[in-house]
Structure formats: C-alpha cells, structure tokens
Structure 1
Amino acid sequence: MSEYKLISQKKPAFPVTKKLGNYLKRHNRTIKIPIFYDDLLRFQGSVAVYDKHDNDTLWIRVFYNEFERAEIDLYLKKVYNILHSNGSDASIKHLNVDAIDFCTFGNSKPFRIKIRNILNDNYTYFYVKKTDASRIYGLELEDILSPYNLNFLVYEDTLIEEHISGIPGDVFINDYLDDCLDIEKAQLAKEFVKFNERCMIRLLGDMRSYNYVVVPTHDFENVVYKIRPIDFDQQCYEGKFKVYYPQFFKENLKLVQLVGDKLTSESIEQYQIEERSIVAKRILGSRSRLNRLLSAMKSDNISTPKNIEQLKSEIFEFTGDINFRDSDGMGEVLDSALTFVRRNYEDVSMKTIIQQQQRLH
C-alpha cells in the first residue's frame, strides 16, 4: 500500500499544441479573457491561510496595491461571468472578489478566487492556472468518461477552471470517516472500488487523498457518498502502472481497509465490472468527440520515452493485449486501454444477447 517511489519526480508542464488548440476551439473551450495567470503574480504581500483547526493549508492570501487591485477585481468578475454566465457585464455590480489565494504546493501553483454575490451572500470559487496539456487532457477525459461535467476555459497560457465542491479526501478520512454509520461505510467502500477502477481505466494518476473530494448527497434517510478527482496534472504521465490505482497510496489506506472490511471479493469484482461497463457505454456514446481528443493526444508529447516504455510494458504484462506493447506514445496507450474496455464490454454484451436468443428458441 505504500507510495514509496511511486512518483519519483515532479511532472513538467506541457504546452498546448495546435491540434489540441483546434480541438478546444471546436468544443467551445477557448474564449478571450481579460486577465492572465502572470498578472496575478504581481502581488505585493501575503499572509498564510489556516483551517478551522489552525493548521496551515499551504495556501497564502495575496494582496495587491490599491490601483492594481481595483483593475484585477474587475477583470476577475468578468472572468467569472464568462465561465458561469453569458459574459455580460450586467451583473458585475452584484459581485465582489472576497479573496485571492495562491498555492505554492504541487505542480499547478493555482490562484483560487472567491467570488461572492452581495445580494444574497452566496459565494463560489474558480481557479486560475498556467496551461498544461496533461491537465487539459485530464479535464476533458473527466468530462467525457466520468459521471460529472466540468467547466473550464483556455486562453493562450492561462487556464480557468471551475471549483469542484466536496470534502477534501484527507479531511474526510481524518475528521468524518470514523463517525459514519456502517451502511455509509459500506457505501463508501463500494464508491472507492468504483473510483479506483475509473482512474485506472483512463490512466489518471496520483489520486492521493488531497487530490480528490468526497461528495455527500442526502437521499431519503441515507447519505450517499461519491468520490471526484480534483487534480488532473497526472494524466498519462507516469510509467508505473500502480500510480493509476488510488489503492496503492498510503494516504488512502483507511479506505482500502474499509473495502476489505465491508466488501467480499465477489462484491468487489461486481462493482469493478459495473464501472467498466459504465465507462464503456460513455466511450460508445461519445465516440466522435473522444476520437478527436485521442487524435490530438496521439500526436502530442506528454510524457518521457522511459515512462511510455515502462507503462506499456506493465499494462501488456497485466492484460496480455499486444496493442499495449505496440503502442507509440501515451495517447496510443490510453487509446488501447479504452479500446480494451470497450471491446470486452461489447463481447460480453453480444454473448449475452446470443444466449438470450437461444433460450427464447
């Protein structure tokens, strides 16, 4: 269960290629924005941000000189309207920028913007980051293959990304998990199995507990939990196949133990099959868009030759599918993985149909 040496070095950011840029334009992911990531770096001072337990969150609240702050606030409110509305300036007078926070931890070094509606005190967040092709591929794959939609924009070297609401995984594990009812723990175990399978299938790595959120939803008398990734930097980069399994990170050990305590091996296999089938249906339902994205990824360079060789070798050893061994680049490795899932789903579905027809006759 250890993460020791699973991730050996920091992942570099990769530029957006012309082909990926054309894909983003086609799917309305690009629009001119009035402020860039580098503009936000001109802050004059900062203070540390602490959580309710007085622990350092690794975020700092940044401050700008008076003249620049007025301009930055206006532009950030415009970006909010572009991201969440029709881009009109009509509602800007009702918006306030409550905070601009900066995180120096991790790869993306994001700015987190807190926007409040002064009419009702409702607030939301969005993030301003440097563009990274890996992250963009990850965001798009999440939008296509997961149960959730994602809203983001790319303009030149700046990425605007909506906030994904939920309880950070590490906070949930430390502060909430032990107080869950047995039925809730069993449901969490099921969801972790599905989340684990989903990340592995689409090769989303580094799902340590602070890189996903747990989302509770009240359903009649019960609380239903879902798990959503919030960090997509490690899309198709690392060479170790285990990196793409959340179960192998020590931060997730409590959830792994929960699976062992609450689920039988038959149940685990059932949930894995369910998740593979759901992903396969999404692949079939979004084939044209997914093929365009994979085409851009196949012509892109988003990893190192060493990582590519290691990953395709390890997945070939795991599956026995020669398409992995013959893959050239991370785009082809991912294409082979999605084809493998889709083909198995179609083979089983066809076999089931034939068996049903035989029983009818």
Structure 2
Amino acid sequence: MVEEKLMSKKKPTFPINEKLQAYLEKYSRSIKIPVFYDDLLRFQGSVVVYDQHDEDTYWVRCYYADYERDSIDESLKKIYTILHSDGSDDSFQYLNIDAIDYCTFGNSKPFRIKIRNVLNDSFTYFYVKKADASRIYGLEFEHLLSPHRITFLVYKDTLIEEHIAGIPGDVFIQNELPECDDRAKTQIAKQFVKFNERCMIRLLGDMRSYNYVIVPTHDFDHVEYQIRAIDFDQQCFEGKLKVYRPQFFKENFTMVELVTDHLENTSIEQYIKEERSLIAKRIILSKGRYRELMRCINSDNISNKEHVHKLRKELLDFTKDVKFKRARSMGQILKTALEFVKRNYEDVNMRTKIN
C-alpha cells in the first residue's frame, strides 16, 4: 500500500511549548473556553452515522446523561459565540446544539458539533480536538501562507476549529468530476498543481483526497474551483518528501491523470511559478507575525531525529540548496524551504527592476 510505504503508522501528539503559547495569546488564538475535549468523552452511548447512501461515515452520534447534557449544550453555545462573535450569551436562546458526533477514524479523533439557528433553521459546524503543536502550526501557516483565512482557538489541551465548507475530495472525484466539462477539468487540474506545490513548500503532509475539499464558486457563466486542506495533523512530521506532495497518494491518482490529460508541461511550470510567487508575497506581507511563528517552530520538537535527517537530505537533493545541511529541526527545515522560495522570488524581482 502507498500509505504504508510513505507514512508512519501513528503520529504522536506534541505539547504546546511556552513560546507557542505566548504567540497564540498575542494573536488572540488562546482564549478561555468553558468545556474541554475530555469533557465530551464522557458520553453514555452512541449510534453510527450513515451517509445518504447508507454507508458508514466513521462518525458516531453521542448521547449524554440528562444531568450533563444541558451544561454541555450551554458550554458549546458559548464556544460558538467566542469563535464567531463577541462571546456574549445574548443569542443563546436562538441557538440549538443539534448533534455531537465523534470520529472513530484517524489520529485526532475529533468531535463535530452541529449548531443551528432556530430563527431561520440555518446550521453550521465546528470541531473540538486535542490540542497538538504540529496541528496548530499547520493551521497558522495555512492562515498566513495560503489564499484562505482560518479561525481557531486553543485553551490548555483543547483545540477548537471552524468548519471548512466544501465537497470532500474523494466524494468530488467519484461523483462530481465525471460530470464536469473540459473547461472545468482544466481549471481543476490547474488548482491541483497549485495545491500540490503549496503543500510541498510549507511541508503539509498527508493530503489524501479525504483530507481536502473542493470548493466550487459560481462566477457569471461558469464555475471556478479551489482546493482547500481540512486536516493539518501532518505539518512537518514525516521524513519523506513525497508525503508532502499530494500527487504521490493513490487516492489522488485521478487528479494526477487530470493534470496529465489537460495541461501542457509549460502550463504546469507556469502554475508552479505562480504559486511560489504568491507564497513569497505572503511571507513578505505577513512580516513580523511570520517571523514570530518561525521562531516558535525553529526551537520546537514536532518530529524525531530520523525524520529530520531524512527530509533534510531529500530536500537538499531536490533543491541543491546547501543551506538545508545546517537545519537541525523540522522548523529549521521549513524555514529554509520557505526562505528558498522567497529568495528566488526576490532575485527575479530584482533582475526585472534592473532590466
């Protein structure tokens, strides 16, 4: 199996150190919340959640004792208002916790909270997870270096994440992609090239098709597509460069075929160059915040020595940049990779100005 060759069987959870905690507090990512991940584990029973085709979704719906359910519901409403509003309880009477689901698949074992506004019957989700330093770095780098902003909160050992809307990649590939016309397929292929490059540069791993979503946006007479990561558990952990390149997972084979069938090599190179330039611009624009985050991850331990040595060598071979030889941690490897992209962008910019 591709996954067994590429990835470790189990990624450990890494604690939040003092530097990262200070960073989270400075940028309002760390706010006191009234319920913890472990509190939600005290459910009394559960039932399997099936999709519209009666397939097991790997989620179970949790049920709590009557004496606990009211306080849990109030706490989850409070979290929702902190995440999306001013944290006041003025709107509690209009909110209802429709479901608390627990995922039995993967590393993070998250809880998914479905919350509904009873006035207009609209609903959304958010997630409660165990706080993990590598996941937090993944979320924050996504916020700074991708085209998308992300809202999340951390309090002690609990992480709250907003829901990222979109069609799960595996569902889209199976059900939606065959119905797309050639123009749409070309546009999706372009976005996969850019997504693939973005993941590799910022070392976000394990982007199998169920770990990202396709986001269609209607624009006049056609539909534009974007690809967004939704799982940030594998930020800077694995030692194999291929783990950070979605094209090497068998679940993405259809997307790779799409690129091969619809894009010329010159177009692929153009889109790679575009994505690298955009990342370089975001690094420059985020200035102090980016530097502070890099200081946190440079001194943090979010992998093991074997993975650090292997990834350092593979990136040295891939880029021919001797600066990778000096990297002693995953954070330093990431900084070297990002600075490599930024330096190349600035060099091209300088030559353009001179000419």
TM-score exceeds 0.5: yes
Q: Deviations over 1:305-326 (max 9, x none)?
A: 0000000000001111111111
Alignment partner of 1:225: what SS?
strand
Opposite residue 294 of structure 1, the aligned amino acid is M
Opposite residue 53 of structure 2, the aligned amino acid is H
Tell me the residue number matched to 2:31: 31
**1:4, CA displacement in angstroms?**
4.6
Tell me the residue number matched to 2:338: 338
- Structure 1 vs Structure 2: percent identity of aligned residues? 64
Aligned length, in residue pairs: 355
Distance 2:255 2:300 in 1: 35
Tell me the residue number matched to 2:239: 239
Tell me the residue number matched to 2:274: 274
**1:3, CA displacement in angstroms?**
4.0
**1:299, CA displacement in angstroms?**
1.1
**Contact persistence 1:3–1:248 (CA under 8 A):** no
Alignment of 1:1-361 (within 5 A): 2-355=2-355
**1:67, CA displacement in angstroms?**
1.3
**1:8, CA displacement in angstroms?**
2.6
Distance 1:74 1:318 in 2: 52
**1:109, CA displacement in angstroms?**
0.5
Alignment partner of 2:164: what SS?
coil
TM-score, length-scaled by structure 2: 0.99
**Contact persistence 1:60–1:101 (CA under 8 A):** yes
Alignment partner of 1:227: what SS?
strand
Opposite residue 173 of structure 1, the aligned amino acid is I
Q: Deviations over 1:212-269 (max 9, x none)?
A: 0000000001010100000000000000000000000000000000000000000000
Distance 1:41 1:3 in 2: 29
Opposite residue 336 of structure 1, the aligned amino acid is T
**1:354, CA displacement in angstroms?**
1.1
Distance 2:8 2:20 in 1: 28
TM-score, length-scaled by structure 1: 0.97
Gaps of 5+ in 1: 356-361
Gaps of 5+ in 2: none
Opposite residue 219 of structure 1, the aligned amino acid is D
Alignment partner of 1:286: what SS?
helix
Opposite residue 176 of structure 1, the aligned amino acid is E
Alignment partner of 2:5: what SS?
coil
Q: Which moved more, 1:2-11 or 1:289-298?
A: 2-11
Runs of 4+ off more than 6 Å:
none
**1:2, CA displacement in angstroms?**
4.2
Alignment partner of 2:13: what SS?
coil
Distance 1:2 1:310 in 2: 18
Alignment partner of 1:96: what SS?
strand
